[in-house]
Structure 1
């Protein structure tokens, strides 16, 4: 219940962990750095997964599955790629009690093994585009972990596509970035900034990396998804050529893109409060919980009334939980279901029965509504729409209020201030500043403030005039800087 939750203003990091553990979303695993996703946490991930999967298939992609183990020689074929992942690799050297002739990596990502297969599957332009997605687990040996946000093993999807032309591949890269933006904003109710990563921050082996960046309640950025234009790098590394329409052999053009279970963390940190988890209706495992309130002499009648309402709402397509556990008081149940993030609580007592009504309580605002029982289904449907919109609007208002134009290095240093460990009261947010394009400037700012260049926002790069906020040289881009997870 709420007393189990450390307030955000006291220790934001502990608040986040308290919610995960007490809402029973995940737990620590005996394997250091890994987590066990509990049924409620997995149910939220399933809803996210299923919505993305639907959108991927609408855009022509098919699901496949590739091996968990990848020959080390595959990763070494793309030098920049292996250098980028080398510190995170988990390597298998023995199998069946014997030393392997060649070590295998447990996949940190699947570009290399997928492109080894594409070499067999692509011969002609008629085989293109090849649009494949994989739902899988990956392992990246993280030293500092946090449940959902950064664990040594996590769940994700990774799309890998092959194309006839550079234009088609670039269009695919941005198409999938837009799918990510739309689903995360509309379905998860988390506002994001889509943009291009700098050379320093791009994916190892990519020509260009795009991301969607979300702002959490402690004003830090969370990279919520990435989409990469890979050019012909992996095609050349694995000799994947096709016969063009002109009869010539050419290397194919590629993309890859992914989101992961860190989106569950994004939802927690965007919407939740000091009472516990707050879920958008689209993600909640249940639409509402009915809690009957009775004494011994009214128990049978109130319970029957509640069971009838549950049946009617279920018949209307809602997923409804009826909590008739006599071992806990109604007040304890209220707090427990608030902890779990259920969007709507429905209270029914003897007086409500007599009045032919129910009491609906919104999780996001605590507002109580007295609803005629015959209108319960329609009103619940309205509340779902209103809560979804309200959560997004509230998060967007916070995002906008903490996105600030900054002109000079002094202003950047002042904006980020001194980071206060654990609290959500630290300075910061998204600093929107002009940038010269220099990696040295990025590194200098990171050293001074711990802030990194999150992205170069799409749609905000016209008419760049002025000086770099960090070094004073002529600016080339308008960029977002922030501390990040």
Structure 2
């Protein structure tokens, strides 16, 4: 029957781990800190990829692919960048193995040492800007709007499936522009693309904002972010877009002749989301029964389970289901008919509930007689009997309603967990008692930001883009502040 999950209230972290494993999303790998994404988990990621890729192309971007290995010398060219990633890099030092002299397996051939070590990419700015040097001579070659879908390696010590693994999948956009204004606009445009995807496909409300100097991407002049709130009251950074200024162009000597014929350095952006979005999806909506998937990203949107005792009953049900499935598929709805006789209907109900299938239909001989079907929706666990006649249109409307309801529920949770605080002692107390997002005044200094982080483990998630001008005083130092920033403990 049902695969039992630890409840969220009992142990949220264990609930998450149980759910990822038992819903067949991913497994831990034999390679320390790496994961195996299983077919069902990958099917969700594929849907995310497909939607995002279309959105990128609608905004004028094209896909390319750059090498996995980056010469170590490339990382030495942009000081802030190398410092930001130095502790996370995996380094390739040799290029050959040989049989061990004692006959026990293989060893690294000491004679096969590389003249220059390669870094397994933690991100691709350096290799891409070294390449752009060959692509760009004139303003006519700009802008370059390139994205790549790839894997990256960041040598994490404490790992967690989807949220933080040594190797993960992502996309990284890298664009080149002739003006500062154009690059800034690109940075803002891509953040809006991410926010649109998070809210309208993932059904996950997000706060858009600027990172503080302490929290910026290594080598960026500005980092924009979307921040989401998980059900345990912790924030999750769910996408970032970086204005890189001319830092990488200067590091790799990428210049262009502008319209006046003068040489200038190119302006740059980069932006990305990763399989961390899978963790965000799980933790935003799921419950103690399993996954709750927004219909737009569910690999299976409707599952149909036959209830029968005799083969002739199954044959009659299957005849009706085949016609219904065809109608649903014609409306773009993904359907699975589970007539596998090795599992009982009760087991199937529990399994598809665990896997977050938005709509489950159950059909037996009596339903055939009455021209009806039992319809269960995953988000509320409510059931109702519907007429088969015109059912496909009702299911289409139901999927839209589930998508909307999941978003509204997440939005209501975020509103309830967002607190305006003026006093530091109250902030510390509510951080432990309530959790969530906190809107507070901050004096703008790195010292105060670090103090709060050290004492509370809460960080400034962002300076919200839509934060209104509001004169106040820093909750720690009492110094003047012109707007509130968003604090939270985070993953």
TM bin, normalised by shorter chain, reads: over 0.9
1:388 and 2:403 aligned: yes
Within the candidate set 301, 318, 328, 1:287 is matched to 301
Aligned runs of 1:14-413 on 2, under 5 Å? Answer: 14-96=14-96, 97=109, 98-296=112-310, 298-413=313-428
Aligned residue number for residue 448 of structure 2: 441
TM value normalised by structure 2: 0.95
Q: Distance in 2 between matches of 1:80 and 1:299?
A: 66
Q: Distance in 2 between matches of 1:225 and 1:315?
A: 34
Q: Distance in 1 between matches of 2:156 and 2:2?
A: 31
TM value normalised by structure 1: 0.96
Q: Distance in 2 between matches of 1:298 and 1:157?
A: 49
8 Å contact from structure 2 (residues 2, 347) kept in 1: no
- In structure 2, the gaps of 5 or more residues are 97-108
Q: Distance in 2 between matches of 1:149 and 1:43?
A: 18
8 Å contact from structure 2 (residues 324, 392) kept in 1: no
1:479 and 2:479 aligned: no
8 Å contact from structure 2 (residues 294, 402) kept in 1: yes
Q: Distance in 1 between matches of 2:2 and 2:452?
A: 39
Q: Distance in 1 between matches of 2:266 and 2:314?
A: 70
Q: Distance in 2 between matches of 1:2 and 1:478?
A: 46
Q: Distance in 1 between matches of 2:253 and 2:38?
A: 43
- Please state whether the residue corresponding to 1:151 is helix, strand or coil: coil
CA drift of 1:306 comes to 2.9
Count of matched residue positions in the alignment of Structure 1 and Structure 2: 476
Q: Distance in 2 between matches of 1:162 and 1:53?
A: 19
CA drift of 1:2 comes to 4.5
- In structure 1, the gaps of 5 or more residues are 418-425
Over 6 Å off, 4+ runs: none
Q: Distance in 2 between matches of 1:142 and 1:202?
A: 19
- Please state whether the residue corresponding to 1:256 is helix, strand or coil: strand
- Indicate the RMSD between aligned Cα atoms, in angstroms: 1.2
1:463 and 2:469 aligned: yes
